[in-house]
Amino acid sequence: MADKHEMKKPKKQSPTVFGYPVSIFFIVINEFCERFSYYGMRAVLVLYFRYFLRWDENLATTIYHTFVALCYLTPILGAIVADSWLGKFKTIVYLSIVYAVGQVVMAVSAINDITDANKDGTPDNMTVHVALSMVGLLLIALGTGGIKPCVAAFGGDQFQDDQEKERGTFFSIFYLSINAGSLLSTVITPILRAKECGIHTQQSCYPLAFGVPAALMVVALIVFIVGSGMYKKTAPQGNIMVKVCQCIGFAIMNRFDHRSSQYPKREHWMDWADDKYDKLLIAQVKMVLKVLFLYIPLPMFWALFDQQGSRWTLQATNMDGDFGALIIQPDQMQTVNPILILLLVPIMDSVVYPLISKCNLNFSPLKRMTVGMLFAAIAFVAAALVQIQIDKTLPKFPSSTEGQVKFINMLNRPLEIKAGMNTIELKAFMGNDDYLTYNEPFILTLGPNYSYPVDLLDGARTTMVITEEKAKALSYWMTIVFMCAEFSFSRIFNGYNSVLNVTVGNLEDSDLGFNQMSKYFLLPQGDAQFKIRKETGEECLYSQKLGFGSSYTLLIPSTFTFGDKCGEKISQVVDIKPNTIHMAWQIPQYFLMTAGEVVFSVTGLEFSYSQAPSNMKSVLQAGWLLTVAVGNIIVLIIAEAAQLPEKWAEYILFASLLVLVCIIFSIMAYFYVYTDPSKIEAQFNQNNPEEKRRKSLEMARKDSFEYNKEKRPSSDSSSDEEEQRQTKI
């Protein structure tokens, strides 16, 4: 807050367009680009961990939520730096540079060719990519979190005192730019990721998916700096959060120093701070602590909410995203949330809440928040039910003490195979439908004259191809496939007595010799075209329809001939069946979670703002953001501690914990007494004339709780909107 000397200075007049400072347009564009950059990068992040860095789902989830937690811890640092040392403008510029560098580093980390010396499509030094990724994410967390509390407030600073209406419109446009950037990025970056790119080999284009957000962040920085000459910049004026923490710390230490029974007790433990601090400040801190106490159970909601970008996205990778003419990528399902927000917010405000009010039901803010938490818990129950259906369709991979084997008959006649106690009958040029699981060595019998001992290959999936060469010799191939929804895998076995060259789209395999198996081709869902070419120049085109997450072995038999119907001679063995549970089944859980967000988050911000002292709105805002960070830390703790083998069980565990927390919160809410901070401050100052004079500048404005109650919509509603929209910002 400015002092009296500063209030007397003439205010800088910024150029205006239709009554609005020109400078705010630079700020709105900056926010759109920055939110596009952040949400676009985050939309594909967990899949980058899973399929590029090749981490398992638990590690990918852990690092993802660690990153999100950092993004919501650093706003406290950014607010302190801006208010105490650099000011909002310099803080935004400096941390945006850090932010942009982090995005560029992330894009570079996703280029597999920088360490792919042998040009086989696999990075030779994954440590380099992991190190770059971690550095990039750390810089991004520092940048996006640091500027989070500054940009909206800096935009509000651009308006004059007589532009309250324009300021309110600015915050509406500002919030719209946030949602627009979020929505567009979660649609576009998954499409970019699904494209194929690369210098030596064509793979999922993570460099482009990270590169476009990096470019948008650079644009955001440039646009913000271009408007520098038009901004109204206020000097750092001290951070109220630091003062509150100092007051609380002094009260604790002073109480500890006077713990002896000879000292008289005080009504509240914060009263021990009155030896050094104003009584009005102490009273305001008491009000803040009262609300912060209610925040204790809230992180559990965010623990469930932020798993939309981790567990739910990974869940979608095992589902079918074919919507007819539209193919949905698993990370694009996250767009359901912002779309539903745009629909549900006006419905809640215009229909649901007025209807409840007409029914004379006491649907207080804390009751709304309780209902929002229950919605989130039900959403996870719905996710568990979907996961149970998915698990029924997933292949059963071997455990560490088991092995699995599939047999392929390349003989031009039926074959009866005995593997231990199991008998399998195979037609010519066909394989068995399911892998045979075994946990001890067995004898493989192909007839009266051929028996082979098969050793146990722990945790391995093996394909045994039975050929005519050298009296039914067996050839072994390992099956290693990373399942991913929008991709399929196909490989080719050449049983034709000639060297063949196989081309799939723009992916060309090396020459495939007789009785050789190709590597797996990573192919997008849909129709794949295989071009099979003989050394003499003869060609055969073969088309195969690929399902989501499927894996196939194509067999070119010894009876294969080139010609018009050559493709009919090629047979197909299914290694992994396509996903069959449709992604549309995730929509109910997204709907429930978004309904919970609208009821919980928006109401929580409004409640916090109404219960906070006039000069400590930012303290509660910092506390609110801290609950988001703690929620993501809870995910890390539970995911690592529980180690549940079934994903559906983990969903039920999170839902159960939230219901338990919800009960605790409802009890706390029952005993909570709503207060009017403006009346308490006014009454306190009336009883303390000296402090009233000291705080006269602070009390010049009425608190928004009373002001909005009497004059909504009012000129101060813009400041309400600024605080209430910080979660998305």
pLDDT at position 17: 73
pLDDT at position 431: 92
Given a cut of 70, is residue 274 above it in pLDDT? yes
Put the strands of the sheet holding 507-508 in their side by side order. 507-508, 500-504, 526-534, 539-546
Q: How far apart are CA 575 and CA 197, in angstroms?
A: 26
| Residue 308: Cβ within 10 Å count | 21
Q: How far apart are CA 719 and CA 167, in angstroms?
A: 8
Classify residue 582 as exposed, middle or buried by CB count within 10 Å of its CB (0-12, 13-18, 19+): middle
pLDDT at position 264: 84
Give bridge partners of residue 454 from the DSSP assignment.
Answer: 442
Q: How far apart are CA 506 and CA 501, in angstroms?
A: 13
Residue type for position 294 = L
Which has the higher per-residue pLDDT, 711 or 529? 529
| 8 Å CB contact between 668 and 294 | yes
pLDDT at position 701: 43
Domains of the chain: 17-238 (1.20.1250.20), 278-394+581-691 (1.20.1250.20), 403-576 (no CATH)
Given a cut of 80, is residue 551 above it in pLDDT? yes
SS3 500: strand
Given a cut of 50, is residue 184 above it in pLDDT? yes
Q: Of the ranges 16-20, 21-25, 661-665, which one carries the lowest mean pLDDT score?
A: 16-20
Q: What is the pLDDT of residues 294-328, one digit of tens each?
A: 999 999 999 999 999 999 999 998 898 888 778 88
Mean pLDDT, rounded, for 435-440: 88
Q: How far apart are CA 722 and CA 152, in angstroms?
A: 7
pLDDT at position 481: 59
Helix (H) or strand (E) holding 246: helix 240-257
Q: What is the pLDDT of residues 556-566, one digit of tens each?
A: 998 998 988 88
| 8 Å CB contact between 333 and 489 | no
Give the whole-number percent of the chain exceeding pLDDT 70.
Answer: 89
Pair of tokens at residue 579: 């996903």
Q: What is the pLDDT of residues 29-55, one digit of tens each?
A: 999 999 999 999 999 999 999 989 989
Given a cut of 70, is residue 10 above it in pLDDT? no
Which letter does DSSP use for residue 714 in this model? -
Helix (H) or strand (E) holding 436: strand 436-438
Residue 652 pLDDT class (50, 70, 90 cuts): very high
Which has the higher per-residue pLDDT, 552 or 262? 552
Residue 713 pLDDT class (50, 70, 90 cuts): very low
Classify residue 138 as exposed, middle or buried by CB count within 10 Å of its CB (0-12, 13-18, 19+): middle
Q: Of the ranges 340-349, 453-462, 694-703, which one carries the lowest mean pLDDT score?
A: 694-703
Given a cut of 80, is residue 233 above it in pLDDT? yes
Residue 648 pLDDT class (50, 70, 90 cuts): very high
Strand segments (E) across 198-347: 203-204, 322-323, 326-327
pLDDT at position 690: 53
Helix (H) or strand (E) holding 488: strand 487-494
Q: What is the pLDDT of residues 72-90, one digit of tens each?
A: 999 888 888 888 888 889 9
| 8 Å CB contact between 302 and 703 | no
Strand segments (E) across 138-182: none
pLDDT at position 31: 92
Please compute Rg for the chain using Cα positions: 32
With tokens 């005192």, the residue in question is 161
pLDDT at position 719: 43
Q: Which residues contact 558 (CB under 8 A, 6 or more apart)?
A: 410, 412, 468, 495, 496, 497
| 8 Å CB contact between 364 and 610 | no
Phi, psi torsion values for 679, nearest 5 degrees = -70, -40
| 8 Å CB contact between 699 and 679 | no
Cα–Cα distance list, 539 to 503, 531, 534, 535, 566 (Å): 11, 7, 6, 9, 9
Of the candidates 667, 669, 680, the residue with the CA atom closest to the CA atom of residue 365: 669
DSSP assignment of 14-60: --EETTEETHHHHHHHHHHHHHHHHHHHHHTHHHIIIIIS---HHHH
DSSP assignment of 294-316: HHTTTHHHHHHHGGGGTHHHHHH
Helix axes 279-295, 677-687, angle to 10 degrees: 160
pLDDT at position 71: 94
| Residue 394: Cβ within 10 Å count | 14
Q: What is the pLDDT of residues 185-223, one digit of tens each?
A: 999 999 999 888 888 777 789 999 999 999 999 999 999
pLDDT at position 509: 64
Residue type for position 379 = A
Q: What is the pLDDT of residues 123-154, one digit of tens each?
A: 888 999 999 999 999 999 999 999 988 888 88
pLDDT at position 483: 57
With tokens 């080999």, the residue in question is 201
Q: What is the pLDDT of residues 564-623, one digit of tens each?
A: 888 888 999 998 888 889 999 999 999 999 999 989 987 887 787 778 787 777 677 778
Helix (H) or strand (E) holding 604: helix 603-611
Residue 52 zone, left/alpha/beta (φ > 0; ψ -120 to 50; rest): alpha
Residue 721 pLDDT class (50, 70, 90 cuts): very low
Mean pLDDT, rounded, for 700-708: 41
Given a cut of 80, is residue 504 above it in pLDDT? yes
pLDDT at position 702: 40
pLDDT at position 2: 38
Mean pLDDT, rounded, for 426-430: 92
pLDDT at position 519: 84
Query: Average pLDDT of the chain?
Result: 84
pLDDT at position 595: 94
The b/e string for 506-523 (b: 16+ C-beta within 10 A; e otherwise) is: ebebeebeebbbbebbbb
